[in-house]
């Protein structure tokens, strides 16, 4: 592995398969979000920005509200028929 960058806190190494490894000064590997943050801050990798979740359409909510009262009316009619 080749040393790409060495700082006071960590070393960035380039592996033979062209991926990066990050190790602390003590030689312990750095993984996960911390590794991604280090590589991103050094400009070695680019990560896509998370996609924004689409906002729910107001029309869909109105349809759901319109259906609920119809179900309540049917339930209201059933007890009247049982009174006979």
Provide the mean pLDDT of the chain: 77
HSE-CB at 45 with a 13 A cutoff on CA atoms is 17
pTM above 0.85, yes or no: no
Rounded Cα distance, 76 and 59, in Å: 27
Binned at pLDDT 50, 70 and 90, residue 14 comes out as very high
Position 54 scores a pLDDT of: 74
Position 75 scores a pLDDT of: 54
Binned at pLDDT 50, 70 and 90, residue 52 comes out as confident
Rounded Cα distance, 3 and 20, in Å: 10
Could you report the per-residue pLDDT of 17-48, keeping only the tens digit for each? Answer: 988 999 999 989 899 889 998 988 888 888 77
């Amino acid at each position: 592995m080749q040393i790409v960058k060495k700082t006071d806190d960590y070393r960035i190494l380039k592996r033979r398969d062209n991926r990066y490894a990050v190790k602390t000064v003590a030689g312990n590997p750095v993984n996960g979000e911390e590794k991604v943050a280090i590589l991103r801050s050094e400009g070695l990798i680019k990560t896509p920005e998370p996609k924004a979740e689409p906002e729910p359409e107001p029309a869909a909510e109105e349809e759901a509200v319109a259906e609920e009262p119809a179900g309540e009316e049917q339930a209201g009619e059933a007890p009247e028929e049982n009174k006979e």
